[in-house]
């Protein structure tokens, strides 16, 4: 009915018959989105119809045609068929998407297929393929202005205003215009030219990161340190076997682990693997119920963290069972004066970058003391493989892909209680310190009782939210079911999410692989943000000011 350039066209061929009052024609040719002159020619010649994209076929037939014309897509569909409804579906789908032919069903199959027919029909239908089409179907005021969101206008006519939640668009003396404000971009276009927006969008596609250039931002060598994490873990286990442990240290029924920041996460992770309760303590004082049944562990990479020193000294007044780990500092001096076992680890790292030494050394010691019973062989092998797959020598790897998805947003990292919760917290803190950007974390199922209600206004108050679900095969079945429901809720609210699967079979392998992936993501995210991952100037400034009090 008009020379639209936003639709594909179908040219009819010979008449094959009719059914229920509708003629059936053989398709002579498909033409995808012609220019305006060609569209006018089609309209004047007759025998052309808009392609509504409504296809009817048997599943077996379309699969045959896909196999014939789009072999990569056919192969991907076969691979994905057995994963539908499983936790691995999302990751496999993302991987397959990168491999298949970049084309539509119209170009890839319909324009090349044989025995295709068309049934012309007139019915209420609109493609909504451009902003003028949206303006045409949207309610408009007496001046022809269609508005979504908040608009303040004067002398404005025949316009589409598409505002972001919580933000007002003001117009003065404009007409025949589309103004579309989104998180990613602001569009101001002549309404009649809105079909050309796709050409603008193609030009606006961000170029792939120049990783070799971005690596130069890492002047302090954090990439190299992260690559060495598997070696740290192995050396930590060996170091733990060499520690001289006094006889009176065993016999405890719980562990109190005092530590802050990159050292303090050690207590959370110990709690995931020990056979007895572990109480992480992040503060100046220890819980009042601590007694002789408790093993007190002081964890401070520098050995000078004031909260840790305060809590450790108070803890020593409650229990004689104690040990500490650091690279030196006042904690070492305190242990020497009180004849407390002290474990020395290599210096020269940022605390958050020494987790392999801190955690695995203590896991080894606690295994000797009868509090840890786990086999770390698969976990260490998995970490070694990840170091190769996620490092700078593997461009376009999984960690870089996730970092690109999180860049410019606010990551919301979701783990699960009793499983991936500590890893979610680690992702959050690594993104904070390395990438220098806000990030938050929460645990399922608890977040199902509060945080999900906050999603109602997320588009307005947190438009950059990016949910990341950390998945393993060891979550409770009901928690897995909750995640699947939450994914549907997020999609309905227009919020994006990622799923990240742990690698390996054992709980330890899956957990540590997720942790290690998060470390890589945080460093690549720092580089995308244009910052050196290592310095933590606000923390240093705070410490300096406290020291002057």
CA–CA distance, 85 with 91 (Å, rounded to integer): 12
The predicted pLDDT at position 504 comes to 93
CA–CA distance, 39 with 34 (Å, rounded to integer): 6
Residue among 367, 369, 358 at smallest CA distance from 324: 358
The predicted pLDDT at position 192 comes to 87
The predicted pLDDT at position 124 comes to 73
The predicted pLDDT at position 128 comes to 73
Peptide bond into 364 cis (omega under 30): no
The predicted pLDDT at position 87 comes to 66
The predicted pLDDT at position 510 comes to 96
Residue among 272, 268, 293 at smallest CA distance from 280: 268
Mean pLDDT, 10 residues at a time, over the chain (549 residues)? 78 90 90 84 88 88 92 90 78 82 85 88 76 91 94 95 90 95 88 84 81 95 97 96 91 96 96 94 95 96 96 96 97 96 96 97 95 92 96 93 94 97 98 97 97 88 91 94 93 87 94 98 97 93 90
Domains and CATH numbers, the chain: 8-118 (3.90.550.10), 131-198 (no CATH), 209-217+378-549 (3.40.50.10490), 243-374 (3.40.50.10490)
CA–CA distance, 39 with 86 (Å, rounded to integer): 46
- The label of the residue with tokens 């936003």 reads 6
CB 415 within 8 A of CB 421: yes
- Catalytically active residues are 433, 449, 543
513 three-state secondary structure: helix
Q: Where are the beta strands (DSSP E) in 404-484?
A: 410-416, 440-444, 465-471
| Tally: H helices and E strands in the chain | 22, 19
178 three-state secondary structure: strand
The predicted pLDDT at position 111 comes to 83
């Amino acid at each position: 009915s008009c020379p639209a350039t936003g639709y594909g066209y179908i040219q009819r061929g010979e008449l094959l018959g009719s059914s229920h009052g509708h003629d059936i024609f053989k398709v002579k040719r498909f033409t995808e989105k012609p220019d305006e002159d060609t569209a006018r020619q089609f309209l004047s010649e007759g025998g052309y119809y808009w392609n509504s994209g409504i296809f009817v076929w048997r599943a077996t037939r379309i699969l045959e045609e896909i196999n014939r014309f789009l072999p990569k897509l056919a192969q991907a569909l076969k691979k994905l068929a057995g994963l539908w409804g499983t936790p691995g579906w999302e990751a496999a789908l993302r991987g397959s998407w990168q491999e298949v032919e970049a084309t539509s069903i119209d170009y890839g199959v319909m324009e090349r297929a044989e025995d295709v027919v068309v049934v012309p029909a007139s019915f209420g239908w609109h493609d909504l393929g451009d902003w003028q089409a949206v303006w045409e179907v949207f309610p408009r005021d007496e001046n022809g202005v269609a508005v979504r969101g908040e608009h303040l206008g004067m002398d404005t006519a025949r316009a589409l205003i598409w505002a972001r939640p919580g933000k007002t668009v003001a117009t003065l003396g404009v007409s025949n215009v589309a103004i579309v404000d989104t998180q990613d971009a602001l569009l101001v276009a002549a309404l009649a030219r809105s079909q050309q927006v796709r050409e603008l969008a193609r030009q606006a596609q961000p170029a792939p990161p120049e990783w070799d250039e971005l690596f130069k931002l890492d002047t302090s060598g954090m990439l190299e340190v992260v690559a060495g994490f598997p070696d740290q873990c192995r050396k930590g286990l060996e170091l733990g076997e060499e520690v001289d442990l006094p006889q009176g240290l065993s016999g405890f029924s719980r562990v109190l682990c005092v530590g802050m920041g990159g050292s303090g996460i050690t207590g959370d992770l110990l709690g995931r693997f020990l056979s007895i309760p572990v109480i992480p303590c992040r503060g100046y004082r220890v819980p009042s119920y601590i007694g002789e049944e408790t093993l007190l562990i002081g964890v401070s990479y520098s050995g000078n963290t004031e909260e840790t020193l305060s809590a450790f000294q108070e803890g020593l007044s409650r229990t004689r069972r104690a040990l500490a780990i650091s690279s030196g500092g006042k904690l070492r001096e305190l242990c020497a004066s009180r004849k407390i076992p002290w474990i020395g680890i290599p210096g020269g790292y940022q605390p958050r970058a020494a987790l392999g030494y801190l955690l695995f050394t203590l896991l080894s010691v606690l295994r000797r003391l009868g509090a840890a019973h786990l086999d770390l062989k698969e976990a260490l092998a998995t970490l070694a493989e990840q170091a190769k797959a996620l490092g700078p020598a593997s461009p376009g790897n999984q960690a870089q892909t996730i970092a690109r998805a999180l860049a410019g947003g606010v990551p919301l990292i979701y783990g699960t209680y009793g499983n991936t919760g500590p890893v979610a917290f680690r992702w959050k803190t690594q993104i904070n310190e390395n990438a220098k950007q806000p990030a938050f974390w929460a645990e399922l199922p608890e977040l199902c009782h509060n945080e999900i209600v906050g999603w109602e206004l997320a588009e307005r108050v947190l438009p950059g939210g990016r949910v990341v679900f950390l998945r393993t095969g060891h979550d409770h079945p009901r928690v897995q079911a909750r995640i699947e429901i939450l994914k549907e809720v997020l999609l309905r609210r227009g919020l994006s999410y990622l799923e990240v699967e742990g690698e390996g079979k054992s709980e330890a392998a899956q957990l540590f692989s997720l942790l290690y992936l998060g470390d890589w993501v945080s460093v690549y995210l720092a580089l995308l943000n244009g910052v050196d991952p290592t310095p933590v100037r606000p923390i240093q400034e705070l410490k300096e000011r406290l020291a002057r009090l």
